[in-house]
Each structure stands twice: as structure tokens, then as C-alpha cells.
Structure 1
Amino acid sequence: MNKAHKTLLFPLVALLVGAYFLFSGLAEAKGFLAPLVTAIILALLLIPLGNLIEKKLNRTFSSLLSTILLFLFSIGVFVLLSFQIKSFVDDWGKIKATMAPKIEQLQNYAYEHTALSSKDLETYKEKNDIQSMLTSSGNSGEKAFNFINSVTSFISNYLLTFIYIFFLLNYRKRFKIFILKLFSNQRKREVKQIINETARVAQFYLRGKLILIVILSILYSIGLGISGVSNFILIAVIASFLTLIPFIGNIIGMSLALIFGYLTQGETSILIGVILTFTLVQFIESYVLEPFIVGDKVDIHPFFVILAIILGNMIWGVMGMILAIPVLGIINVIFNHVPSLKPFGFLLSTDNSNED
């Protein structure tokens, strides 16, 4: 191996090893970092509201009021979803009865067009019934403990996020001064510009997405309601919130609508209505709402958006997928303002002006 190859190999190996330990560490620290990063992004969203309230109240009260308003909004979303889920559970017996013939049709189709036989299916059912009996009888206490532990962890992280938001809003000036003190006087102006722009990126993206979710919830509810889908409000709200996950969210939302619409009621008119609703609304979202409401403030190439979503899912699950885009947008702002990192900013963005 010549000297040039060794010079290239060592930094490459160091980069791969460093990336592995970085992402492994992020995954291990999910319980601490996920609520904190979520709080930072949401706090950036609330800064304009906090500044508006500060005209009447001091910073402590304005930060507390902004946090409480966001908390009440989240509680309202949970209450709406819980009522719709209760309605879905109450109708579960009717849904099962409606789905039974559809499942039977799928089984008959599988018997006629594949090598699968009814005997194979019965054997599979018996095997899984025995396994479920063995596992459920011995691990019921463990499952109950894991469930309670998961619920407790979710509630604690949920409340902790809002505590973080309050402190981040209340002491935001102190944090900003701390960051500025890390740099020389010659670079403070540039660093201040980076801080302001990263805040604007997060605010613009999240505010636009929030408005988009409200509009999409209304449009989906109208379309699914006219189509005759039961629990259409629940499906519409879930499908709208899934748009926080680019590309994948729309596919999952449409799949849920098809499952809980057509399969549970079995009418072809509902199938056509669901497909038309999602096709039309997603067309409006992509070509009318998204450009005007969200715009291109988060200037990230679609290829790296997909990579960020996959990586976010691997590290922090669904929360990682939601946070991936605003976090990547903030990182891209930093790349574009640091001379040595500008090539990475060009790679991540959709800017083609410097291409040969």
C-alpha cells in the first residue's frame, strides 16, 4: 500500500468508526436526548409567541404562559384522539363481522392461486395458539410490568419535555450569550447571524407544518366523511400528523384509511372515495399548500431527507423520524456559514448554481 492510499485510508476509517460510536451513543442516550431535542425545537417555535407576550408580562410569566398554551394544545389533540379511539373500540364487534367475509375471500384466493392449503393455515393457527398460551401464562406479570413501565416512561418524558421548554424559553438570552462567548469578537456577528437563522428555519418549518396539519385534517375529514368512512375524524387527524414524516407518512395514512374504510365496511364506493380523497388532497398539499405555507426554508435535497428519516428511525424511532428534518435543516445552516463546511452544505441543499 503506497503512502497516498494510507493517507486516505486512515481518515476514512476514523470517520466510519467515529460515526458508528456517535450514532450508537445517540441511540443509547435516547431517554435523555429525545425529550431535550424535542424541547429545543418546540422552544424555537414558541419564541415569537413568547416575545409577543413579553410586551405585557415579564419573561418568566411569558415563558410559563407559552409553555402552558402548548401543553393545553397537546392535551386537546390527545383528548380528540381518545374519543375517536373509544368510538372505534365500541364498534370493534361490528368491524370484525364486516371484515370476516373479506378475510375469507382473501383466504380462498390464496388457496386457488398459491400453494397454500387450508390445512397449512390450520396448522399455523394451532401452533401460534399453543405458543401464545405458553408465553402468556408464564409472562403475564412481566408483560403487565413492561406496559406500566412504558406508560410511566412516556408520561415522564412528555412532562419533562414541557419543563425543558419553559427553562429554554426563560433562559434563552443566557444560552445565546454563552454561545457567543465561545467565539472571538471578530466572529460574534457571524455566530449571531447563524443563531438567528437556525431559529428562523425551525420556526418557519414547524409553524408551516402545524398550519398544514390543521388544513389537511379538515380536508381529509370532509373527503372521508363524504365517502362514508366510519371514524373518519380519527383517521383524518392521524393521517395529517403522519405528514410530519415526509414521503412515508402519506403512504401510511392512506393505508390506514383503506384498512379502516374499505376493509371494515366492504363497499366499493368507500374504496373509490378514499383513493380519490387522498389523491386530491395530496396533490393540493404538494403543489398548493406546501410551497406557500412551508416553502423551501428547509433547503434539503430529497435524497438526504430520505437518509435522515431512515437514520432517525434507527436511532430514536418515530420521534427520530419527526425530528430528522428540522435538525438536518439547522445543521445545514451551520454548514453554509462555516467556510470549511460549505461543501457539505452544498451537498445537502438543492442549490444547483455551483454545478459545472
Structure 2
Amino acid sequence: MQTTSNKQYPFFIKAPLILIGLYLAFYILYLLKDILVPFAFAGLIAILLNPLCNRLERFRIPKPWAITISMFIAALVLAGLLYFLSSQISQFGEMIPELKSRSQELLSQVQHWAAQKLGISMQKQTDMIHKLTDNGQQYIGYTLGSIFGVLGVFLLLPVYTFLLLLYKEQLVNFVYESFGSAHKEHVQDVLQSTKGAIQSYIAGLLIETAIIAVLNSIALLILGVKYAILLGTIGAILNLIPYIGGLIAIALPVMIATVTNDSFTTPLLIIGVYLLIQFIDNHLIVPKVVASKVSINALISIVVVLMGGALWGVSGMFLSIPFVAILKIIFDHIDGLKPWGKLLGDSNPGNLIQSHKK
């Protein structure tokens, strides 16, 4: 006699149930984003700080103090970066009136050229500009809202990080006990693989960002672009946002060079140099520095980055790749889910995670 638990339901029943389940899951993730986003970032930070905490504990430093010292070191590094950026931005603010005046002058020249050469009336151009401005303001407002949403719960990050590091043994034991002693070695393998992949990925990203910031700044200084160090550093930070960040990183110095120079030679040179830096980054820096044990193919990378952006904004774009990397590790260790792991992975074993690049 067949039990209900072994009953196989037809596809036309299972498919809608799966879709409804996915919809509810994503809807819940969207509703809880103000709680889950800082918690997700805190998890990544905790994984990154865990080796330092363990090293301090080996010197017989009590665990709470080891965690506090590790977080204090991380806070000092972050404060140094913020101080550097704020000092550069304050200097940049003095140039805003000049940029605004030059931008209006260039816009007027472009409008007259379009009216004469393309036959587009000034009124039609004005309407198009207003429409683009309104759409741009909405997008900028959405992006800033996402950023300030994260900043609004910024105080939760150190609390989450401290507690995750403090109770990591309890959390790990809970995972072990949930799957039973028979699967302990299997679960341990998954946890170790996940921790190693995420640590190497995040540490590699930080090193890569520093290298790209130096290369960008040197290139812009050679080309004589104003505020080269600020633009180079911002470009490297924006490069952390998969795909979209790289385009914005190029657009900023090009815009500054366009409004501060009479010729278009410098903006064209900036595009060429940044493309060269991107090539070096993708083919030299990423394979050597951002080496990861997990390979995610480009198609899945683009899809999950866009889905992450739609779900959690800019934060979702950044978190999407580590999240999919964790999923792939789990799928690869479960027989029934191995096909999904192959779907997420790159068929070429020589490729590494390069999904935050393009």
C-alpha cells in the first residue's frame, strides 16, 4: 500500500506550487530587506574577521575581547578610507559652480548643433531633456534610497557581526544537529568549503579594489584630470557593483574631463585607458587575486545581479554573487541537486568567479 508521502504529483500540479512558493519567498525577502540586508553584510564581515579572531584567541585573549579588537581594527581601516574620501570630496565641492556653468554651455552647443544638423527643434530637445531628467531623478532617488536604507540600519552591522562571531559555535552545532550525526562529515565539508570560498572572495575583492584605485588614479593623473585620486578611488569602489558599477566608473571621469576641457581628446583617452585597465583586471588581477573555489557562469551572474538589484537595490547587486556561490557549494554536495550546481557553474574549469566584472 502506497503512503501519501510517496505519492508523485503530476507536473501541472507541482509547477504552480513551486512558482507560488518562489513568489512568496521573494516577497518575504523584499518585505524584510531592512533586516536581512545588514544581517547578510554582517555575515560576510564575520566570515572575513573570523581568522583574525581565531588568531587573537590563540594568544589567550578572551573571545569577546578578541572580537572587539578585530572589529576595532576593521573600523579603523574604514574610518581612514572615509576620512580620505571626505577630504577629497570637500575639495571637489569648490568646483561645482564651474562644472554647472560649463555643463550648461556644452549643452547649449549640443542643442544648437542638433537643431542645425539633425533638424530637431529646440522645444523638442527641451522636452526630451526634461523627460530624461525626470527618469534620471527617479532612478537616482531609488538608488540613493537603497543606499540610505542600508546606512539607516548601519548601527546594526557591528551588533550583528559581534553576535555572529560570539555565537558561531552554537550556530555551527545547530547546523550539525539539524542534519544528524550520520551527515556530520558531509555538512562539515560544505561549511568549510563555503567559508573558504567567501573568505577568499571578499579578501580578494578588497585587494583588487586597492590595485584598481591605484591604476585609475595614476592614469587620470597622467592625463591631467582634476581630482584624479578621488575619481580613481570612487571608480574602484563602484567596480565592486557587478557590471553596472564599471560603466558608472568610466562615466564620472569622462564627464569631468568633458566639462573642464575644450577638446574631446582627454575623454576619449580616459575611455581607452579605463578599458585597458578593465582588460588587465579581468585577465590578470581577478585570476591571480580574486581566486575562488567556485565558478559561476556569466549568464547566471547577469541574471542574479539584475534580480538582486530588483530585490534589494545596490546592496542586492553586491550580495547576489556570494549568495549564488554559497548555493552552488551546497548544490554540489547534495546528489539530488548536483544538476543545479552544474547549471550555475562554468563548464570551463579554468575560469574563476569573474562575475563582478565585465
TM > 0.5: yes
Q: Does 1:219 align with 2:222?
A: no
| Aligned pair partner of 1:238 in 219, 234, 237 | 234
Q: Aligned pair 1:55/2:58, yes or no?
A: yes
Identical positions, percent: 30
1:182 aligns with 2:185: no
Q: Counterparts of 2:348 and 2:161 in 1: how far apart (Å)?
A: 37
Pairing 1:304–2:300 present: yes
For 2:234, give the aligned amino acid: I
Whether contact under 8 Å (1:224, 1:232) holds in the other structure is yes
- Alpha-carbon RMSD across the aligned residues, in angstroms, is 2.6
Question: Which piece of structure 1 moves more, 25-34 or 61-70?
Answer: 61-70
Q: CA 1:275–1:195 in 2, change beyond 3 Å: closer, same or farther?
A: same
What 5-or-longer segments of structure 1 have no aligned partner? 1-5, 132-142, 144-148
**Aligned residue identity for 1:158:** F
Match status 1:33 vs 2:29: no
Match of 1:73 in 2: 77
Contact between 2:200 and 2:292, CA under 8 Å: does it hold in 1?
no
Over 3 Å counting, the alpha-carbon distance change for 1:18 and 1:226 in structure 2 is same
The aligned counterpart of 1:265 is 261
> Are the equivalent residues in 2 in contact too, given 1:208–1:294 (CA < 8 A)?
yes
Q: For the residues of structure 2 that align with 1:159 and 1:317, how far apart are their CA atoms?
A: 19
Aligned mates of 1:284, 1:151 — CA distance in 2: 29
Richer in helix (by share): 1
Counterpart residue number, 1:3: none
SS at match of 1:182: helix
TM-score by length of 1: 0.86
Relative to the length of structure 2, the TM-score reads 0.85
Any conservation in 1 of the 2:231–2:252 contact (CA below 8 Å)?
yes
Q: Which ranges of structure 2 fall in alignment gaps of 5 or more residues? A: 1-8, 135-140, 350-358
Change (3 A) 1:127 1:23: closer
Q: How many equivalent residue pairs?
A: 331
CA contact (8 A) 1:221 1:232 kept: yes
One-letter amino acid matched to 1:176: V
Measured in 2, the distance between the counterparts of 1:152 and 1:37 equals 16
Partner of 2:354: none
1:87/1:127 CA distance change after superposition, 3 Å: same
Q: Give the direction of change, closer, same or farther, for the CA distance of 1:13–1:122 in structure 2 (3 Å limit).
A: closer
Question: Residues 248-278 of structure 1: CA distance to partner in whole angstroms, max 9, x if unpaired?
Answer: 2212211122112223434334213312320
- SS at the partner of 2:325? helix
Q: Which structure is higher in RCO with an 8 Å CA cutoff and minimum separation 6?
A: 1
2:46 pairs with 1:43: yes
Name the counterpart of 1:18: 21
Deviation at 1:176, TM superposition (A): 0.8
Match of 1:110 among 114, 122, 126: 114
Letter in 2 for 1:290: V
Distance 1:277 1:339, change over 3 A: same
**Structure 1 residue 299 displacement after superposition:** 1.1
> CA offset at residue 113 of structure 1?
4.0
Match of 2:224 among 203, 225, 228: 228
Distance 1:278 1:253 in 2: 9
Partners of 2:118 and 2:18 in 1: how far apart? 49
Write the letter of the residue equivalent to 2:331.
F
> Which string of whole-angstrom CA distances, capped at 9 and with x for unpartnered residues, describes residues 259-306 of structure 1?
122234343342133123202211110111110001242311111100
Equivalent of 1:250, from 235, 246, 249?
246
Secondary structure of the residue aligned to 2:266 is: helix
Alignment correspondent of 2:159: 163
Q: 1:17 to 1:113 in 2, by over 3 A?
A: farther
- Measure, in 1, the Cα distance between the counterparts of 2:316 and 2:169: 27
Task: Name 2:283's counterpart in structure 1.
Answer: 287
2:50 alignment partner AA:
I
Q: Quote the Cα distance in structure 1 between the aligned partners of 2:24 and 2:67.
A: 36
